[in-house]
Structures are given as structure tokens and as C-alpha cells.
Structure 1
């Protein structure tokens, strides 16, 4: 049976799930001793909205041929994806404690051969949209109705391979493909802050009219607040509703804040990665309001 789209939770329920996801990110990285923080926190509302209210998937059948596909092109945000996959039931929540260990299924970058629910290995930036375009093209030629989603970072848009896919996707009429750009305004290495930048470094794509650029290449751009669940829901509906219409892929340009939800990380480029101290974990716990008081102790990898 083809997986069905889940009943969409309320905005309050999505917000609670996002707070849980953010806590699992920061506490897991703290227990691991290494990992990325800022990007997973900025993308969490988008990921939660996808996995709990949009994607036609079945955690009991992660390789179902008719499932929707999702590719995390910015693969260094893996702990954000793993947290959501665990919350969605693809593997036990306590497996997060094995993150980034040598014998774990949850490596620092997603590995489709190891981790249930991962549709493409990623980590070398710029490659995910090409893989997504290939999946969308295969769906059309095989007569499949699944939708393909690809999440990119704004710093990742500096990779040339992204634009090769941007140029080619409309030529193949891939309106069953949606890119989501997490415009969190910061990257690990970047230019000094300018007058109109939002945060403490210059925004990778903050001085480019991305809507005009994508429109010029034949895409359907949808600009939203990436932390507004109503706006996210409407953007998803617009993107999937256009499938089979005019051949234009959709791109959701989501304005977000790096490190969202945790005061010491939000808007700070140094929290692209980092390990929270016990004192910082206490702050994050209080701000996120998630009930688990401490990270779970490391456990053996679950096979």
C-alpha cells in the first residue's frame, strides 16, 4: 500500500515537536563531544513540518518504492535529520546516544547504506539537488507519483554544481521536485558583517535577489518565514499543488535564524558547530522546555 500523507498536527503540536528536536540536537552533540548545532536548529521547524505533516513515508517500510523522497543536501546537519527520524519512528530514540561513534549507524554525515530513512548519502556540499533531480526524473519516467524534496543551505548555494541542477531541472519539466533553502544567514567561514546583514557575519546569499534568480532559471520561488508553521504549510501545499501543471520545479526560500531557539547560539556564526557546556545545556533546557533533564549516556550501536 502506498504511504499516505499524515494528518497534520496543530501549530502548537509542531512547535512542541520542534522544541524536542532542538533539545535532542544540542544534548546529543554535547554527549558525543562533536557535531553541528546552528544549522540543525535553524532547519528544525522545516524538518518537523515535513516529517510530521507532509511526507508520504512509512517508518516500518523505509524503502517503500512509492514513498516521497527527502535529501538533506547540507549533510553536516545530519544530527537534525537523525533527531527527527528517531522521533518519527525510523529507529529508537536512545540510538541517538551513539551519534558519531565508530560503530554507529548515525555518522557525522548521512549514509543511505546505514541509516533507515536516509534517501541519499550527503556531506560533500552541492550534490543533493542533482540527486533529487535524478529521482524526480525517474519518477516521471516510471509513472510514479512520489514527490522529491531537497534541503540546501544558503552557504551551499556557492557551490557551482547546485546551479547546474537549477538550470537543468526546468528543462526536464520537474514540477515534482521541490528545493528548500535554509536561509539562516550564516556560514562557518564568511565575510565580515555588512550594514544590512541580520547576524554577526555577512549573509552568504543575503545580497542576492534569489527570487529573481530562480524565476529567471524557470523555477517557482516561494519566500517564507521558515519558523512560521502556517507559512511552511502553505508553501508545501503550493509546491505539491503545482505538480503536473507547468513543469516548473518549486523552491521554498525559507528565512531562518541559525541556532534558533537557544539564546547563546542564535545568530552566532561560531555556533555553526560546537559542544555545549553543562551550564549552557541548563540554559538550553530551560529555554526549550523539553522535559528530559540531561543527555542520555552513550550506548552500544543498535544493529
Structure 2
């Protein structure tokens, strides 16, 4: 009896030894096999997007939230209406008798602007907002074909100044203002903005402040920048990640920190 059992075991072992070893998996894979295309949408890039102050962390490039490339149409439809004049330009001519308006909005000290991903729309109560909810990625500093307010508001939070001009504004006045801004600080963004009025088609915006003009008053512009630039709650010169429509990168003026504002301009005249 014992001899028969031993012989049976040896037969089984021998049979297993002769069977070729197979590492292949013959059952179903979950969610899919290694060679099968995954048709499921990406949920996250695996990055931590949580932020106790803003809801969504700033500056994290993530395709499920904000990568500066996906779903941009939620903020603006890429059409020429945003940066082309379709109105009577004579209505936007500079008027010496129209004085600049310098306005301020009270922002509570404990206020934290929220960041929203590109699957949520953002609306503003003001035509020219000076603070509010915005996108997690801020704009690369410089001049744009068009830059949505959802982006430049984040730059303001970092202490930047945004220069806005109506597409129908007088080109000479626009160029004067551009030159002043570029000569005053590195942390600036420049963009057309067709929501400005024909009476005052030029504007400067900082965190909590706005200056609207019909005609460039250099001394007023310089005073505004010196008083209100670099006053955002998050003062960093770190450049942004959003660059869609960027025409020209900003260049350092005094230095990357803008330690000296408008160092080469006096009364609107660039000093050599």
C-alpha cells in the first residue's frame, strides 16, 4: 500500500516537471491589460491640489484642474472681438477735460481669494475687478494679444500691475502708457480689454485699486504705480505658467524684485 502511494506521488511530480512553466495571465485584467488602451478619462495627475487658504493650490500644472492649455474657452472664446476695434474710433479719442478716476475697493485683511479649476466658470460683479476668485495658474509677465481677467487677477495678488486698454483706444495714448508701464516695473501684464468705456478707454489695475483714464497723465500713472504696485497679499516675483497669447516677455527694470519702481522715468519722460 505504502509503495503504491509513493509511486503515485512520483508520477504526479514527474508530470508537473514535464509540463512547461507558463507565466502568462489567462484571466481578466482590471481595469485593463498592460497592452490595452485606457479609454477612461484622466482624473488627476496625482498631484496634491488642496490648499487650506485658496481651496486649490496655486501654480500646480495639472490637466485635471488647470494646465494653462485645456478648456480655455470657459474664460474666453478665442475670437478677434476681444482685441480688435469694431466701433467708431472717434468715440475713443483722448479728451483733456476728462479727468482720471482713481478708485479703491476695501478688501478685508483676512480675505483669501479662491482658486477655481477650468471646469468651473467665474463671474465678477465689477467691470474692472481688482480682486476676487481666479485661476490657479497666473500669467507669465509681459504683453498679450489678449489675457482674460481670470488670469491677471492672480498676478495682481502677487503685486503686479495690469495695464488694460480698449481695442479702439487711441494708439498713441496706448503706446505712451505701455512705455511707462514697461519702464516702471517687471511685474506687469498688458492686454486689450473691450469692457472699458469710450470715455476712459485706458486703465491700470492693482490689488484693490484701479485707475481709469481718457488720456495718459504720466505723473498720475507713475504715482499710481509707486503707491499701489507690489501691494498684493502674496508678494512674489516668481513668473507665471500661463502664456497663451503672450506677445512679449516682461524685462527686469531695477531688478526681478522691482526694488525701485520707475527708476528711469520722471514725469513720464524716460531718463537716460
TM range (shorter): under 0.3
Structure richer in helix, relative to its length: 1
Query: Which of 1 and 2 has greater Rg?
Result: 2
TM-score relative to the length of structure 1: 0.23
TM-score relative to the length of structure 2: 0.25
